[in-house]
Structure 1
Amino acid sequence: MSVLNQASPSTVLPAAAATPRPSACPGLLRIVAARDGGICRIKLPGGALSATQARAVADASTRHAAGVIELTNRANLQVRGVRNGHEAALNALLVEAGLGPTPAAVPLGHASAAANLALTSSADDVRNVMISPAAGRDPDALIDTTPLCAELLALLQSETRFAALSPKFALLLDGGERLARVDHPHDVWLAATQADDGVRFVFGLAGCPPVGRAATTGSTGSTGSASAQRTSRASHLPHANGTLALATVQPAQVAALVRALLHTFIDLASADATRMRHLLAAHSVDTLLEHAQRYVDFPLSRDASLADWQRSTPADAALRLGAHAQRIPGTWQVGGQPPLGRLDAAALHELATLAQRHGNGTLHVTPWQSVLLPDLATPVVPNVLAELNALGLACDPTQAIAHLIACAGSTGCAKSLADTKADALQLATRLSAGVDVHLSGCARSCAAAHCAPYTLLAAAPGTYDLYRRDGQAGFGQCVAHQLTIAQAADLLDQLARSYPDA
């Protein structure tokens, strides 16, 4: 290995290794208070959760919290309603189940228990790598990203200097799957592309892989419905205010590239810069690449030929629901979405049983707040679908509830102006199929990392302002004020007919 790969980090932030960045985000060990109790966030490697771990989460949430488990838009879990005084016991059960950072990521022998706790918490915080929930199984993928995901997670936890990264700092590793969430802005994104010498990874900063119209209007798999096509068209986004494609690297170079970019961020970021977009506001792309070059022995200069690069594989969120064939003939994945991304402990137990009885003993949480059971044999698919439906999960993309997301609302969050969960359930009974709507109790938009086609922003209990995405910053254009849920449903139906590509 070249000495360039072993370049020492700059001393611009000399205390970074010893001083984790403070955060108000929930974590495994950092339980954040909310109106309905504490919130404990469990980061899942690649969204994967073993049946044994699922049972551990369900049992821990019953014993030490309210028995409510949320699926997040980063393919993680949250235990809500953690009881006061039960935090340590909950943490212990989750760590024992293997749901914390890898033991090797936490150095031993530090001066105090507080120092060890801080290092454990920071090692947990940096585990932010998103891949497709169908990685390794998607028939259209260019590469299986699961080994690379594991390599990146190990890298993120291996250097204590990375404790300086915000818990929101995140990476996207896109293997070209059809089932892919490519509209969430990430600090670093890498997307597989077919090159003359095989599969390479295009990369960019502070945004999303550029997605062309052709990549979002393709067939919608086995659903084939007009509503699913609207969902696909609605996912069309540009690069979401980040960079376009900058250069390509070979798969074997991905970890080294990410390491170089992380050290570059820490070297150059000011104390109040938490995300890559903040660094780009202060430094040019070329400056960042030149700085990162000191850490690697392959070229990182910008490739002008990639200026028009776009992801060509059609991305179809509808594939998260129902039954779809996997890459290996005779195997299937079956997906369902709990209403508004929430499960109770009993339902999580049942999902674990289904995964063990019919699949490979693993559940895959998706960034659409749904769950996949992979590696099912053809004969068991109808039974698994029936059992998911019996648990109350939506398995059909034409179901309105599958197109709604909502924050915790006023029952769980003091900042929310409305009970968004209850209002969303009411909206689902009136809304036409295929209209994607985000209900947010305040302007922070905690439930959606992407810009939804339509957003209902709470103005008062049961009253919302309606926004339509139109390329403007934030939620888009405000098209109506002070709507009740019934009025919002009527107007959303009208807008969906008038603006089918919204």
Structure 2
Amino acid sequence: MPTPPSAAARDEPVIRDRGDACPGALRLHAADDGYLARVRIPGGLLTARQASVLADAADRFGDGHLELTSRGNVQLRGLAEGCGAGLAELLDGAGLLPAPGHERIRNIVATPLSGILGSERPHVTPWVGELDRLLCTSTRAAALSGRFLFAIDDGRGDVAALDPDVTVLGGPRGRALVRLGAAPGAVEVDAPDAPRAALLAAEYFLDSADAAGTRAWRVSELPAVHALDAAEFAVRLRAAGIAAALVPEVAWPYAPPPTPWGPGTGDRTPLCVLPPLGWLAADQWRVLVSVAEEGADAGGPGDGELRITPWRSIVLPRASTRRPVDGYAHLLAAGLSVAPDGPWESVTACTGRPGCAKALSDVRADARAVVDATGEPSAEPGPVPVPVHWSGCERRCGHPRGTAWVDLVATPDGYRIDGRPVPSNELAQAVAEARSQPRVSEDAVKK
């Protein structure tokens, strides 16, 4: 797993000479395929009604597709110039824009299986709603960048591994740990206080960023002299009326992301759905919504729930798998992966051409060609393939976090895999070999 930046590296702070230009639902980004809107979905939590509105937005204003991001958000692409007001009105009506002045800072990832499989861990999805409410009502929090990330983990260690700026880790006996950046330790608080403690952690970051004067966007960008200190954070929490205990060293857990596990048993069961490359047509999205709705308890339309994960998959906590509809079959027929060990597991890509002007190749088409060439994975037991990420340029947008991964980058002359040029006629074989033998970690890419 990646290691935190060294103290020496942080003595050379990142100095920003401009504000954060991260796109949102109101601040649209001009891409080569039209305008782009990024709709923040805190914790990835969507009602079926909200999800239906996103499909309508993709059809009415965009290119008819929805794109999942590595933070569990949804992007709409191919938007026409001048559509901003209509898009905002549609999203606002569905509760997807609760605070227009804060919409880009609602970056919260959460354990997608929390409260679904097993009851030995705390159910943390209610913490997402409370943290989001606190963020949206905080004048101070509006100064956060669109890249600042909160993670709310139920204790298994899945989203805690995604390089968050503030981590809330659920624990036993009604307690939670709050971690600042990649610190080895944390501050322990009562679980009901965890969302407010997370907000106070963000405000502590803003104070340090102001003192540094470097316009840092993330905790890791603070110079060493202004680094966040867990002991000082504990003092701040106590001053705010939150009982806090310093825990100098924590054995941070790690869990891999969820992958499709099959139909399960019963008429209504959880499902994990994997859209190839995190990209869905609006009609595919509507199949997901209908399966979620049919699996919901009686009570009218919109009761279903969808959880967008930071690994570009979707968890349906209560899907109709047999009755009233065979949702599993519907999802398969729609071209979505719902069976375990499929060829699309852990295969990701940036936008690439034609949507991104900086991309040197249509990486999605190339990734599909390689998956088609390699076919289904072997049925023989063996190691799980290492994640592979296709990047259209050296920026490596959307690459995996918290794990080793195969680094595949487009160049003017083809592709490099883990820094090594590969002839186009050997690409499929080289990718398969690289996925069986991990070579690249996030730290190696940064060097």
Query: TM-score, normalising length from structure 1?
Result: 0.74
Q: Any idea what the Cα deviations from partners look like across 1:143-167, whole Å, max 9, x if unmatched?
A: 0112211111111111112111001
Amino acid at match of 1:187: D
1:77 paired residue among 56, 65, 74? 74
2:241 paired residue among 297, 320, 324? 297
1:262 paired residue among 197, 202, 223? 202
Which residue is equivalent to 1:349?
Answer: 286
Cα separation, partners in 2 of 1:334 and 1:157, compared to 1, 3 Å: same
Which residue is equivalent to 2:217?
Answer: 274
Which residue is equivalent to 1:473?
Answer: none
Aligned counterparts, 1:58-457, within 5 A: 58-101=55-98, 105=99, 120=100, 122-139=101-118, 141-177=120-156, 180-194=158-172, 198-206=173-181, 242-269=182-209, 270-279=213-222, 281-284=224-227, 285-286=229-230, 288-289=232-233, 292-293=236-237, 295-298=239-242, 300=244, 302-304=246-248, 307-311=249-253, 315-324=255-264, 331-359=268-296, 360-376=303-319, 379-380=322-323, 383-431=326-374, 433=377, 434-450=385-401, 452-457=404-409
Unaligned 5+ runs, structure 2: 1-17, 297-302, 378-384, 442-447
SS at match of 1:322: coil
Structure 1 residue 177 displacement after superposition: 4.7
Which residue is equivalent to 2:13?
Answer: none
Q: State percent identity of aligned pairs.
A: 31
Amino acid at match of 1:161: R
Q: Any idea what the Cα deviations from partners look like across 1:151-189, whole Å, max 9, x if unmatched?
A: 1111111111211100111111111358x3343100011
Q: Give the Cα separation in 1 of the matches to 2:325 and 2:293.
A: 16
Q: Conserved in 1, the CA contact under 8 Å of 2:205 and 2:219?
A: yes
In the comparison of the two structures, how many residue pairs are matched?
405
Q: Conserved in 1, the CA contact under 8 Å of 2:111 and 2:159?
A: yes
Cα separation, partners in 2 of 1:95 and 1:164, compared to 1, 3 Å: same
Q: Any idea what the Cα deviations from partners look like across 1:48-78, whole Å, max 9, x if unmatched?
A: 2222222222122212111111111111111
Which residue is equivalent to 2:300?
Answer: none
Unaligned 5+ runs, structure 1: 1-20, 106-119, 207-241, 468-477
Q: Conserved in 2, the CA contact under 8 Å of 1:290 and 1:301?
A: yes
Q: Conserved in 1, the CA contact under 8 Å of 2:70 and 2:312?
A: yes
Q: Conserved in 1, the CA contact under 8 Å of 2:180 and 2:201?
A: no
Amino acid at match of 1:296: A
Q: Conserved in 1, the CA contact under 8 Å of 2:386 and 2:404?
A: no
Range with greater deviation from structure 2 (431-440 or 292-301): 292-301
Cα separation, partners in 2 of 1:64 and 1:378, compared to 1, 3 Å: closer
Query: TM-score, normalising length from structure 2?
Result: 0.83
Q: Conserved in 2, the CA contact under 8 Å of 1:466 and 1:483?
A: no
Q: Give the Cα separation in 1 of the matches to 2:324 and 2:257.
A: 20
Q: Give the Cα separation in 2 of the matches to 1:175 and 1:331.
A: 24
Structure 1 residue 441 displacement after superposition: 0.9
SS at match of 2:171: strand
Q: Conserved in 1, the CA contact under 8 Å of 2:180 and 2:230?
A: no
Q: Conserved in 1, the CA contact under 8 Å of 2:268 and 2:322?
A: no
2:28 paired residue among 31, 35, 38? 31
Cα separation, partners in 2 of 1:443 and 1:301, compared to 1, 3 Å: farther
Structure 1 residue 497 displacement after superposition: 4.3
Q: Conserved in 2, the CA contact under 8 Å of 1:49 and 1:363?
A: yes
SS at match of 1:154: helix
Q: Give the Cα separation in 1 of the matches to 2:289 and 2:318.
A: 14
Structure 1 residue 37 displacement after superposition: 0.7
Q: Give the Cα separation in 2 of the matches to 1:377 and 1:444.
A: 40
Q: Give the Cα separation in 2 of the matches to 1:66 and 1:348.
A: 14
SS at match of 2:35: strand
Cα separation, partners in 2 of 1:86 and 1:310, compared to 1, 3 Å: closer
Cα separation, partners in 2 of 1:497 and 1:65, compared to 1, 3 Å: closer
1:45 aligns to 2:14 (yes or no)? no
Q: Give the Cα separation in 1 of the matches to 2:364 and 2:319.
A: 32
Q: Conserved in 2, the CA contact under 8 Å of 1:70 and 1:342?
A: yes
SS at match of 2:344: helix
Which residue is equivalent to 2:426?
Answer: 487
Q: Give the Cα separation in 2 of the matches to 1:338 and 1:348.
A: 9
Q: Conserved in 2, the CA contact under 8 Å of 1:129 and 1:170?
A: yes
Q: Conserved in 1, the CA contact under 8 Å of 2:186 and 2:230?
A: no
Q: Give the Cα separation in 2 of the matches to 1:483 and 1:383.
A: 44
SS at match of 2:263: strand
Amino acid at match of 1:412: G
Q: Any idea what the Cα deviations from partners look like across 1:31-57, whole Å, max 9, x if unmatched?
A: 111011111111123212222222222
Q: Give the Cα separation in 2 of the matches to 1:501 and 1:441.
A: 17
Q: Give the Cα separation in 1 of the matches to 2:291 and 2:114.
A: 21
Structure 1 residue 291 displacement after superposition: 6.4
